[in-house]
Structures are given as C-alpha cells and as structure tokens.
Structure 1
Amino acid sequence: MSLNPPIRNIVLIGMPGAGKSTVGVILAKMAAMGFVDTDLLLQASEGRSLQEIVDQEGFMALRAIEERVLLGLDLQGHVIATGGSAVYSEAAMGHLKGAGVVVFLDAAAETLERRIQDFATRGIARRPDQSFAELYGERLALYHRYADIRIDCAGLTQEAVCARIIRALDGGKA
C-alpha cells in the first residue's frame, strides 16, 4: 500500500513503550518506505547504550547527543522512530517537521508503565528523581505541540495503529 501523494518521511514520536520502533517497522513495510530507529543510530554513533550515556554523563548529555543525531538526519522516504525525548529539542523537531509528517503515538500512562519493565535502566532521558508519571506529564504537552497527527493507540494492535496512520496520511480520520 503506497501513500498518495507520497510523503518525504513519517516521523513517530511518543513516550517510551508507545511502540514507535515496532510500529515503525510494520508501517515502513506497509507504506513501502525505509525505516530508521534514531535510538539505534545514537547508540551506534556513540558506541554505547543509552543507559551507559545516562550513567556516565547524565540525562542532559543524552538529550544533546540525540539532538545532534536528529539534526544530522537527511532522509527521504523513511519512517523515523525517534527517542521519546526528541521533543525536548525545538531545533531537532523543526528539522524533522520540515522533512516529513510528525505522528504522535498516544498511549495512556498506565499502559506505558505496564509495558516498561525496566524504567530505571532503559536509558530514558529524565531527571534521576523523576517518576514515570511526572515524565509523562512533562512530555505530553510537547508531543501535542509537535504532532501533525495524533493516533490514540488504546486497545489497538500495532497493525491497526499503522492502518490508522496510513488512513490519516491519505486524508482520512485518524
């Protein structure tokens, strides 16, 4: 299934556990596009895991590295799964929005918390004292600010989320 008209990129944003990486792979196959996971690009460029960066340099260093990686992207025809903290960088989000459509995968905090078993060791760019609920509250406004399309993922399979994204991109209701 290809999109009419074709778009340059589909950029997925959302909290850790929202399904950006998994949905991204499926969506790329459905839309006949390439796929990039920016967390993987970041780890490859740094030669260490997200958690190692947080442990060694702190969460702000992770955000700065993420911004550099995002600003360095020059892609067309890709689904891009971003890290959950991409929205902290206005410059990076401007760059991504200029190169595609930004889709917010919106899932309830309770659902996300259930999916993330390793909150303390997952390499999430957050203050050390910040709870998941606090992080969710802080980021939610940023996701809404940058999203061109919001997909409510409640009760949907990953394939159904992809179908809603494609429908929304083709001008239908998400």
Structure 2
Amino acid sequence: MRTDCALNIILIGMPGAGKSTVGVLLAKRLGYNFVDTDLLLQSQQQCRLQQLIAREGLEKFKAIEEQVLTELTTTHSVVATGGSAVYSEQAMGRLRTLGQLVFIDIPLEELLSRVNDMDNRGLVIGPNETYENLYKERLPLYQKYAEVTIPGDGMTVEAVAAEIEKSVCGGTGE
C-alpha cells in the first residue's frame, strides 16, 4: 500500500466518466480499498438506483444519497461517488474531510458516446431533461469542488488511473 498518498481519493464526475472503472484500477495500483457509493446506496435501500428514484422521487433520492455520503467512513480507499453527489454541499464537505476530491473531466461528446442505457442507469434527471442539460448544470459544481482535475479526453482508463496516481500521490504514475 502506498503511504505517500491522500488518506482517501474521492472520484467525482458525470455518469459515464469512468469513476467506478478507474476507481477499481486505481485502488489495485495503490493497494487501497474500493468503495462505490452507488452500490452502498443500493445495498442500504435493497433496490437498484433507478427503482429507488422511481419509488421515492428525485428530491428524496438526493436526501438518501446525502445521508449515505455524510455517514461514510473509510480509510485508504478510492471512493467512486454517484454523479449527483455534487448537489449536496454537506456531502461534498464531508467527502473533502475524508480525502482528496478528483474530478474526471470528460467532454460531453465523449460522454454521450459512452452513456447508452440512460433509462436503467439511475440518473438523477428530471422529466423532459436531457443528458446535455444535466452536464451543463453539473459541470460548474464539479469544478467548484474538485481539488484535482484530470482531463480524461481520449485517455484509456489505465492512463486516467495513472494520471490520478501521479497527481495525487506524486511520482511517475507508472
């Protein structure tokens, strides 16, 4: 396990940015645990995200997600957050106390090519809203909370993980 890294590395970004995929790779590289807050939420609520959103509505879902994030305790972990985590100032404040916030910044065009199953993805998106609108709404929030931004445009998940390691932990990231 690397000891020269942040206590935890918290990944933020749009759905489709690769937070979970990169997070697993990065955790392996560092000898860290991997935590996916969407999976924690599903486990706690005993249903898939999309079912929870359909059952409870967007605002209640955000409140449940906020509770999961503010109660999170972990060490030596890479944490992949849900894309909507940035809507809660309280949750983001808590995550900042746990570790370093890293924004995986992927351009809209690339995200659109990656996200093809939006109906089953558990997106926190209102009726008649588009993914493009969601992107425009969230981008300033990701930029606001990020301590490190990794431009992942056209990069492999391995390259993004290496770049995060280099930026957060120092060294070459190889």
Aligned twin of 1:166? 165
Q: Distance in 2 between matches of 1:172 and 1:29?
A: 17
**SS of corresponding position for 2:149:** strand
Q: Find out whether 1:108 has 2:135 as its counterpart.
A: no
CA distance in 2, matches of 1:113, 1:107: 10
The equivalences for 1:94-105 within 5 A come to 94-105=93-104
Query: Taking structure 1 as reference, are residues 155 and 3 closer, same or farther at Cα in structure 2, changes over 3 Å only?
Result: farther
Give percent identity, aligned residues only: 49
Q: Contact 1:16 / 1:83 at 8 angstroms: preserved in 2?
A: yes
Shift of 1:120: 2.8
CA separation of 1:134 and 1:54: change in aligned 2, threshold 3 A: same
User: What corresponds to 1:49 in structure 2?
Assistant: 48
Paired residues of 1:59 and 1:124 also in contact (CA < 8 A):
no
Structure 1 runs (4+) greater than 6 angstroms displaced = none
Aligned residues: 173
In structure 1, the partner of 2:122 is 123
- 1:29: how far off? 0.3
Secondary structure of the 1:79 match is: strand
Aligned residue for 2:68, secondary structure, equals: helix
Give the Cα separation in 2 of the matches to 1:34 and 1:144. 26
RMSD of aligned residue pairs (Cα, Å): 1.6
Is the 2:105–2:151 contact (alpha carbons within 8 Å) kept by the matching residues of 1?
yes
DSSP 3-state at the match of 1:125: coil
Q: Distance in 2 between matches of 1:61 and 1:130?
A: 18
Aligned mates of 2:142, 2:65 — CA distance in 1: 16
Q: Deviations over 1:38-61 (max 9, x none)?
A: 000000000011100111121112
- The residue correspondences of 1:1-174 to structure 2 (distance < 5 A) are 2=2, 4=4, 6-171=5-170
> 1:123 is paired with a residue of what secondary structure?
coil
Distance apart, 1:36 and its partner CA: 0.3
SS of 2:83 mapped into structure 1: coil
TM-score (norm 1): 0.95
Query: Per the alignment, do residues 31 and 61 of structure 1 end up closer, same or farther by CA in structure 2, a change over 3 Å counting?
Result: same
Superposed CA offset, 1:119-158 (max 9, x none): 1331111111211110000000000000000000011111
Contact 1:3–1:166 (CA under 8 A) maintained in structure 2: no
Structure 1: stretches of 5+ with no match in the other structure? none
Helix, strand or coil: the match of 1:85?
helix
Paired residue type of 1:42: L
**Contact between 1:60 and 1:125, CA under 8 Å: does it hold in 2?**
no
TM-superposed deviation, 1:3: 5.1
Give the TM-score of the pair, scaled to structure 2: 0.95
